[in-house]
Amino acid sequence: MSRDEIDRPVAGGTLRRVTADIEAAERELATARRHIASSRLVAQSDPAGALVLAHDAARKAIEAHLRASGLRVGSGEGAHARLAKDGVAAFGNSAAVEHCRMFDRVRRVRNSVQYDAFSVEDADVQFALEQAEAIVRAVEADLS
């Protein structure tokens, strides 16, 4: 993405510049990988928990990429929605951009599960895992 596409959310306060921290990004990425593994382990017995873990894996991977790029989503209410919308700025033209956009769909389903007692289907869990795995792979490639 262009510098302007990063500068806009920075100027608007959605993203903020921080010191790039590759080591912290790698730790977050390792946590994302563990969340994916855990999600797969409990998918049949606890689909809602598996979906939440897959969501958190994708979120942590996006945050890891931002951290490695010297960016961070501002905290507070709506931070995960802002991550889904503006967190893709650090991915440039990566193949992961579309998966990051799909993260917002996963985020909305996760919110329905967490706050509205929404029933989780196997397809929801599989979709969330596919997005999380694609995002993790993209971040791994960018950080290597």
The CATH number given to whatever domain includes residue 24 is 1.20.120.330
At 119, the pLDDT band (50, 70, 90 cuts) reads: confident
Mean pLDDT of 50-79: 85
pLDDT exceeds cutoff 90 at 144: no
Q: Please give the Cα distance from 23 to 2 (Å, whole number).
A: 26
Among 14-23, 58-67, 71-80, the range scoring the smallest mean pLDDT is: 71-80
Number of domains in the chain: 1
Top mean pLDDT of 38-42, 87-91, 109-113 is at 38-42
Percent of the chain with pLDDT over 90: 40
Beta carbons within 10 angstroms of residue 134's beta carbon: 19
Q: Please give the Cα distance from 43 to 120 (Å, whole number).
A: 10
pLDDT exceeds cutoff 50 at 26: yes
Q: Please give the Cα distance from 44 to 96 (Å, whole number).
A: 27
pLDDT value at residue 1: 43
Domain residue limits at 113: 3-143
Give the predicted TM-score (pTM) of the model.
Answer: 0.82
SS3 35: helix
pLDDT value at residue 2: 43
Q: Please give the Cα distance from 9 to 63 (Å, whole number).
A: 15
pLDDT exceeds cutoff 60 at 110: yes
